[in-house]
A and B are shown apart, each in its own frame.
Chain A
Amino acid sequence: MASPSPDASAVLRLTLLSVLVIALFLALFARLWFLQVLAGDRYVELADNNSLRSVPSEAPRGSILGSDGEELVRNRPALTISADRQTLLDSEGEPRDDEAARVIDRLGELLELTHDEVIARLGSQRRSALAPVTLAIDVAPEIAFAVREQQELFPGVVTETLPVREYPEGVLASHLVGYLGEISQDELLDPAFTDYRGGDLVGRAGLEQVYEADLRGVTGERLLLVNARGNVLDIQRERDAIQGDDLVTTIDMDLQRAVEQLLADGIIASRDLLRDDGQNMPSVAGSAVVLDAKTGGVLAMASYPSFDPREFVGGVSGDYWRFVNDRQEEQLPLINRAISEVYPPGSVFKTASGAAMLEAGLVGPRSQVNCGPSFELGGISFRNWNRGVNEGPMDLSDALMRSCDTYFYDLAYQQFQREQNQDEPDEVLIRVAERFGFGVSLGIDLPGEQPGRVPGRQWRRDYHLDMREGLCSAAEAAEAGSDQQLLLDDLCQFGGAWRGGDAVNSSIGQGDVLATPLQVAASYQAIANEGVLMRPYLGARIVAQDGTVVREIQPEAIGDLQLDDDELGVIKEGLERVVMDARGTGRTAFSGFPIDRYPVAGKTGTAEIGGRIPYAWFAGYAPVDDPEIVIAVNVEQGGGGSQTAAPIVRNIFEHYFGLVDVEDAEFEAGAEILD
């Protein structure tokens, strides 16, 4: 046989082909084994991601109720126009076709939007691609009707009824309730918001923010089976949304209405007061806090001016947002001045500084200290508010009644000298003021509470370190030898030192002492409540929709004034005489008030803030024997406390005790006492 024979060669070559074929098949087998057996799990997941889409359904939020169950905030069904993005837009966000473009034009005409605005709203990525995109909330029924009746002109457009926030009381308690806003990108990344999605609303202020977790409810979910075109074929799983729980607050709705009204009326009426210079009283803004004397529950809280939470439903408009944030007018109505603004407390702080003097042992409750016309310190004269009259020796009760500054100056300076001689100064004012709730956060269940400040040596050092560079360079820049240069130079070098003048100023709530109206109210609540400071709170309980109480929020004692009966007694006596003694600084504001039936205790205050018209304060409680409520009112640039703040407090008491209807209440300014 010839070698290689043709046959043998053919077989050899066919064998070669077989080997090649088998190699190719082996490659396929190996690849399939890898894909389906080794990596199969991953592809199952990818296949599910492909075909299953989860569409959230919003849970209605819980309501916020007053203490008697009256609704402050609830939900109402709002007619909305939504459209299916995929029907109208292509993947580039342009109209799918001419027909889609015409539908968009028709929508724009109906909703008074431009073509581009409709596309922009449709293209907003904030919602799941499959849920219809909300184009307009609260449309007129005839618009919804027009869409429904001519559905063939509006393919992919649906009218829906969605729950939105409703405020049956309008602007009432807007600072307490707060408002909702769309969740931000940053928040979505925050682990605290893990179960939120883009487009969700979250509480942005007030109780809506603090009780977000209770009010929100549980978002429902539908798991849809979709094909490659995004058409829904089947609902695989459905979980209904669960409405959020209701929040019952401590707010006395009737009182809240009255307080808001009386505060606003009082502030506006006080603008008619003429000052010595012939100008009207500015009375820019103000706030009022009414606490339950026993529990610390907030019965009413008002901040003037206020805002309209209805403006935030469905997204706040740019105009309104600019209006509420306009710094030039200094109105800033979004700020809850009762907790977020700090002022020098002025003479309403004298209860705390008096208690500090007793604590320091410089005086006993009945020790007499002369109330001179002024207190001289290092060439500076610290004058009493009543300009030059020597009121003679006084005990603490008298000093409070007369709001005598020099009584406190004298004692504060003695204490200052003592502390200066201590290796580790025991700053008694800071320590005691904190028992009254000054300089610390009280922990009210509202966002944005400021802790205020009771200054001392440490604060002064830190503050100086921060400010030093600026002071020193200003000193160098100032005209050599001028008074200003000497002052700046002194501050530059020695500004970090706590001086006698600081201690003297602090003792009457001036200088660098700062407090919120809530802190002032709380400090008087502690006095009224036999020395026990309660945490101010608004949330009383969380109630599920079926009526079961999910959580009861208990009043909580957060401090003790640590005063014995004599000490607390002398302070209370002083406060009672402020209102009820003929010589009391608050007497004129309460003239004609039935103090025999409803004895009132309180304190006026007039806070000086560099160069401005003074800020008026009044804080008090009643009835004196068994206090029920505590009220604190502050009016920015409202003049004397007795003049502007005390009459407002009086009106609130009159309403509370059922003496005068809100409609009949009149603001009658008290004597101009700038204590």
Chain B
Amino acid sequence: MEIGYSEDRRQRMMRDQVQSRWMAAYAPVRHLDPVLVLTALALTAIGLVAIYSAKLVALTSQGRSPSEYVSNQLIALVLGILVMVILAVLDYRYLRVFAPALYGLSLILLVLTITPLGTEINGSQRWIVVGGFQLQPSELAKLAVLVTLASFLHNAKGEPHGGYVAAALALVLAPIGLVFVQPDLGTSIVFMWLTAVLFLISGVKVRYLFGLTAAGVGAVVFALQTELIQAYQVSRLTAFLNAGDASAAQSAAFQTRQSLIAVGSGQFAGKGLFQGTQTSLSYVPENHTDFIFTVIGEEFGFLGASVVLGLYLVLVWRGLRIAILAKDDFGTYVAGGIVAILTLQVFINIGMTVGIMPVTGLPLPFVSYGGTSLIVWFGMVGMLLNIHMRRF
């Protein structure tokens, strides 16, 4: 019957329509997390302003363009957004397939840094120059280790037993060791922390966690005892304890002391953009990279510093939310791992500028000058978006 047919057809069309509306509603592209992306962009913008301020006087006095560093960082931002889009569009589950390749590539790059191909800056060999662009493989390795470990633990299906734990440990020890000999103590700590957090989230038994913590502490003590950690590292690690000692101006405590003065003298409301004397007169070394937070603290005060911390908290909140909403364990682990790395880097970096953590040379995510770091962090945002979009 025509009518019957048409009724049927209409019903089917309506069903299709409803279904496609539903389908559309669940389409990944409709489930972007704008708050996450905007927060990351806001932090990057603050970072650009701080980098500009940090380098303004120094560059001008050398007759160079004051926006030199900012333009470099903007190029990195564009690349970062590109990487973010790619990592968001590609279904994150494919990453599990790529994990071994990613892991292998990052290991190769890490090995290359400690060969003569690597570039040494300030006593540590962390960079490879590719076509005039300085690549920091340890930043890339963060992503690789995260994906590899998450993928590996995912295969444990929520019940990682002893063998799994041991295998996972073996996986991370290689990059930790390679980063450690650069030497880049900060990144090795990040790797260890990441492993610990992923073990925690993936349900590794509490007794293993305790055991591993004990082993970790033992390893640190052993490293200190046997001078595996070089003298300058120890002095940098302990310098923040005697930052008030004026005689230490030339020593490692100088950085921490100048950093404290910068942040402290910002007071509640800050000295105003470009008004920070500690910043503009180069009293704080490395204030466009590791010590970028001193610029924020000095020129924008407690208010500005709180805004930055607040933005990080927003990222953490979005990240944890995504970890909980994730469709599979892999997603949860990746999102949880990103939150873990972010939190630790923010804590160590800001902690060292305010004198409660040792000076270890970790960049402040999104804010510090450094292209690789920025690109990798936008890559991480891309992965979070990816997990968020495909949570159904």
Contact = CB atoms under 8 A, between A and B. Distances in A.
A36 to B, nearest CB: 4
B272 to A, nearest CB: 13
B392 interface: no
A13 interface: yes
A227 B262 CA distance: 14
Contacts of B282: 227-229
Given A17-B336, A29-B306, A36-B268, A10 B277 contact: no
Interface stretch (A43-51, A258-266, A394-402, A516-524): A43-51
Interface string A7-34: 0011101101110110011011101110
A33 to B, nearest CB: 7
A470 interface: no
| Interface residue SS majority, chain A | helix
Contact of B264 (A6, A24, A39, A229): A39
B203 A9 contact: yes
Contact of A17 (B197, B263, B306): B197
Interface stretch (B94-102, B137-145, B343-351): B343-351
Given A36-B301, A47-B278, A227-B282, A28 B263 contact: no
Interface in B286-342: 297-298, 301-302, 305-306, 309, 312-313, 316, 320, 323-324, 329, 332, 336, 339-340
B247 interface: no
A592 to B, nearest CB: 79
Contacts of B302: 32-33, 36-37
Q: Contact size class for A?
A: 35 or more
Max chain A C-beta neighbours (<10 A), residue from B260, B264, B282, B343? B264
Given A21-B339, A226-B281, A42 B309 contact: no
Contact of A40 (B265, B324, B354, B356): B265
A362 B326 CA distance: 127
A194 interface: no
Given A36-B301, A227-B281, A13 B264 contact: no
Nearest to A91: B250
A28 B350 contact: yes
Contacts of B280: 227
B261 interface: yes
Contacts of A233: 57, 61, 281
B216 interface: no
Contacts of A36: 263-264, 266-268, 297, 301-302, 305
Interface string A207-234: 0000000000000000001111100010
Nearest to B340: A17
Nearest to A42: B264
Contacts of A43: 260-261, 263-265, 267
B343 A21 contact: yes
A35 B281 contact: no
B267 A28 contact: no
Given A21-B316, A36-B267, A13 B200 contact: yes
Given A17-B340, A43-B264, A10 B281 contact: no
A228 B278 CA distance: 9
B332 A10 contact: yes
A10 B305 contact: no
B201 A13 contact: yes
B283 interface: yes
A544 B125 CA distance: 68
Given A11-B324, A36-B267, A228-B283, A47 B197 contact: no
B212 to A, nearest CB: 15
Task: Across the A-B interface, give the 9 residue pairs with the lowest CB-CB distance, nearest first.
Answer: A43-B264, A40-B267, A227-B281, A47-B265, A43-B265, A51-B277, A36-B302, A6-B158, A35-B264
Interface of B: 57, 61, 158, 197, 200-201, 203, 250, 258, 260-268, 277-278, 280-283, 297-298, 301-302, 305-306, 309, 312-313, 316, 320, 323-324, 329, 332, 336, 339-340, 343-344, 346-347, 350-351, 354-356
Interface of A: 6, 9-11, 13-14, 16-18, 20-21, 24-25, 27-29, 31-33, 35-37, 39-44, 46-48, 50-51, 91, 225-229, 233
